[in-house]
Amino acid sequence: MSYEVHRQQLPLFEEDGRAAATDDEHGRDLHYLPTLPDEDPYAAGHRTCAGCGPAIQYRWVLKAAGNDTVVAGPTGCMYVANSTYLCTPYTVPWAHTPIASGGSFTSGMAAGYEAMIRKGRYPGPYPNILVMAGDGSASDIGLGGMSGALYRNHDALFVCYDNECYANTGIQVSPTTPYAGMTTFTPFGKAIPEGKKLPPKNLAKMMAEGHPHCYVATTTVGYPVDLMNKTRKGLNHQGAAFLHCYTPCQKGWVYQTSMTVELGRRVVESGLWPMWEYRPEDREYHYFHPPVQRPVTDYLAMQGRFGHMLPEHVATMQAGANRNWEAIGMDVPKSLRELEDPARHKRLHDEEYSMPLNRGVGA
Ligand SMILES: Cc1ncc(C[n+]2csc(CCOP(=O)(O)OP(=O)(O)O)c2C)c(N)n1
Ligand code: SF4
Ligand SMILES: [Mg+2]
């Protein structure tokens, strides 16, 4: 005898109910106040750094997913810092996987629940199944397993929390480390003054283009309602979904701890992190157009990892951001076009609000 598999549909959060929305000087709504669930499957009491972006992402994603959830976490900061001495902050079932196996382990969980429900050995409904893997895991060491899981279309949400480095082992370069991002493996010096020479791997576009039957989206911890809604859309989608979330790493990037969420906004407003959703139903990309367009220096100068950048490096970064604006269908204002000229820039550590040079981990 075969039993039917009942899947849950989670309602989306309203962005309209902003009881206390306030605007900043650019007209951005700073405080969304939708009615949020009381459930908090990522409870307080973990050991991540103050201001840790991945921890903020974990909390919002699990709040959106709710209590009927099982979650996996490959090796990385969010495994190590969250599970010391056999304690974890999870109030839902959680499993650690090897760094390469986030995709394959989660495929197995999804297939296992499906089979158990069909055979009548699990009463159901089908739980929310998700994995949250770092960029080193999702875009590099575990990329094959992630891609395989998406390709086979297992009914689960595959999340990459992207802190743009291998953080847990001491801030080494990863494929998603941005151009000029200083890490312990990409120090700046006379031979390579920009630090990292290569542009970052475009993981989310790879996932969308390579697995067109999947729901794929990008987001940041600067847009919590967007992050929670994309989590729910990914879970509601029947089949595999991939979410790529920008999550600042205070220790590796060297910035003021209170600025994590602000960075999550500025990276979008400076054109360096296009926020979009790929919907398999119409096979289209739906791009978010931020109300503010900033020069990249507004973002870069807040972080020590970029403090070594010379005028030509900043100009290269601005040219990349301008290409991104065009790619998402936005005009590039003349003021930003002019900033492609190195003569318009100073050394980054001479910029206003600049942070000290990052001379190494935790410097
Ligand atoms: C196969 C393998 N190679 C290397 C490691 C060592 N290692 C443990 S955590 C980690 C960093 C993972 O980086 P990421 O996935 O980006 O997560 P983050 O630490 O940044 O949260 C590495 C390299 C490992 N555990 N397994
Ligand atoms: S090193 Fe970075 S990612 Fe790791 S716990 Fe600290 S802030 Fe979070
Ligand atoms: Mg990482």
Residue 226 main-chain phi, psi, to 5 deg: -60, -45
Longest CA pairwise span in the chain (Å): 74
Residue nearest to atom 8 of ligand 2 (CA): 52
Distance 16 CA to ligand 3 centre (A): 33
Range from 85-89, 241-245, 268-272 carrying the lowest mean pLDDT? 85-89
Residue 291 — pLDDT band, cuts 50, 70, 90? confident
Lowest mean pLDDT among 12-16, 37-41, 223-227: 12-16
Residue-wise DSSP of 96-110: EE-TT-HHHHHHHHH
Considering only CA atoms, which residue is closest to atom 3 of ligand 2?
249
Q: What is the predicted pLDDT for the residue at 293? A: 93
Residue among 163, 166, 305 to mutate when testing ligand 2 (max atoms within 8 A of CB): 163
308-335, pLDDT tens digit by residue?
999 999 999 999 999 999 999 999 999 9
* Average pLDDT over every residue of 178-192: 97
Mind listing the pLDDT tens digit for each residue in 217-268?
Answer: 999 999 998 999 999 999 999 999 999 999 999 999 999 998 999 899 999 9
pLDDT (0 to 100) of residue 16 = 52
What is the pTM for the complete model shown? 0.94
Closest residue by Cα to atom 5, ligand 2, is 48
Which helix (H) or strand (E) covers residue 161, if one does?
A: strand 157-162
Using a pLDDT cut of 90, give the percent of the chain over it.
83
Ligand 2 centre to CA of 211 (Å) is 30
If you search the block for the tokens 């306030």, which residue do you land on? Answer: 22
Domains of the chain: 46-292 (3.40.50.970)
Write out pLDDT tens, residues 202-216.
999 999 999 999 999
Q: Supply the DSSP string of 44-85, one letter for each residue.
A: S---PPTT-HHHHHHHHHHHHH-SSEEEEEESSHHHHTT-GG
Check: CB of residue 61 under 8 Å from CB of residue 39: no
Beginning with the edge strand found earlier in the chain, give each strand of the sheet holding 215-220 in spatial order.
94-97, 69-74, 128-134, 157-162, 241-246, 215-220, 276-279, 284-287
**Predicted local confidence at residue 349, as pLDDT:** 87
Please give the average per-residue pLDDT across 343-347, as a whole number.
Answer: 95
Would you tell me the crossing angle of helices 53-65 and 260-269 to the nearest 10 degrees?
90
What is the position in ligand 1's atom list of the atom closest to the CA of 134?
Answer: 15
CB 30 within 8 A of CB 224: no
Q: Is the pLDDT of residue 104 over 90?
A: yes
Residue 166, ligand 1, Cβ within 6 A: yes
In angstroms, what is the span from residue 250 Cα to ligand 2's centroid?
6
CB-ligand 1 contact for 78 (6 Å cutoff): yes
Amino acid at site 75: T
Expressed in angstroms and rounded, the spacing between residue 329 Cα and the centre of ligand 3 is 30
Q: Closest ligand 1 atom, CA of 99?
A: 26
pLDDT at 362: 36
Tell me if 134 CB under 6 Å of ligand 1.
yes
Flag whether pLDDT at 26 surpasses 50: yes
CA of 151 to the centre of ligand 2 (A): 30
